[in-house]
Amino acid sequence: MAATLAPKRLTPAESHAAVAARYAEVDEVYATTRDLRLLGFVLFLISDCVFFSSFIFSYLYLRTSAPVWPPLVDGKQLPYLDTTFAAVNSVVLFGSGVTMHFALEGWKQLNRSAFNRWMIATIVLGVMFLLGQAHEYSLALPIMSWTGSSFGATFYTLTGMHGFHVFIGVIYLTILLIQANRGVYTGSKYFGLTAGTLYWHFVDVIWVALFFLFYLW
């Protein structure tokens, strides 16, 4: 009885070469538009960095100008934010960056089941982060309002803008998941998934800065 040969398991180098070959074997029009779309998307992320930076510099100005921070309201200093809870919520968001990486790698390796698992995990972690942020707001609002102090105004503005980006990202990733399972992307044409991964990592990086500014400094 002839032995059944198991499929050859590729080494990481062979796997990378196979992905690179598929990525290059596309028609010229798609290759050109893919590069242009990547440039446009990177420019969009850079413009978003400028947008966040303008508010971050405003926060830095207000903080360094204040005699004490958090500032005084009605003669009493505002309490510090809950760093422990924010750290746990941050781990959730940073973990979603890891799962998003593995989701894209799963797609590159033509492993749809792995892609679906990691993508769903990313979406769930994104929703968990948003719920954690909503919980934090529910605790902070009775103590620190949006208009009651410069600290409240900058905190809610910056974290709110970031939360909005996470919310948009969750919707975006959900659409990508549906599109991928409907055959919109292939093993060589998957720019949408690449863009989604870049966007999600951008959200992670912005949160690193906000977490340091509001919870560690």
pLDDT, tens digit, for every residue of 173-207? 999 999 999 999 999 999 999 999 999 999 999 99
In a domain, 23, yes or no: no
Q: Which residue has the higher pLDDT, 166 or 8?
A: 166
Q: Rounded to the nearest 10 degrees, how much is the dihedral formed by the CA atoms of 103, 108, 109, 112?
A: 50
Write the pLDDT tens digit of every residue in 95-149.
Answer: 999 999 999 999 999 999 999 999 999 999 999 999 999 999 999 988 888 887 8
Q: What is the pLDDT of residue 10?
A: 61
Most confident of 12-16, 71-75, 149-153, 166-170: 166-170
Range of the domain at 128: 29-216
Average pLDDT, the chain: 91
Query: Tokens in use for 100?
Result: 């998003």
In a domain, 14, yes or no: no
In a domain, 7, yes or no: no
Query: Using CA atoms, how far apart are residues 60 and 52, in angstroms rounded to an integer?
Result: 12
Q: What is the pLDDT of residue 21?
A: 79
- CA 195-198-202 angle, to 5 degrees, is 140
In a domain, 93, yes or no: yes
In a domain, 70, yes or no: yes
In a domain, 17, yes or no: no
The CATH number given to whatever domain includes residue 104 is 1.20.120.80
In a domain, 3, yes or no: no
- Say what the pTM is: 0.90
As for how many domains the chain has, the answer is 1
In a domain, 12, yes or no: no
Distances (CA, A) of 74 to 65, 138, 144: 19, 22, 12
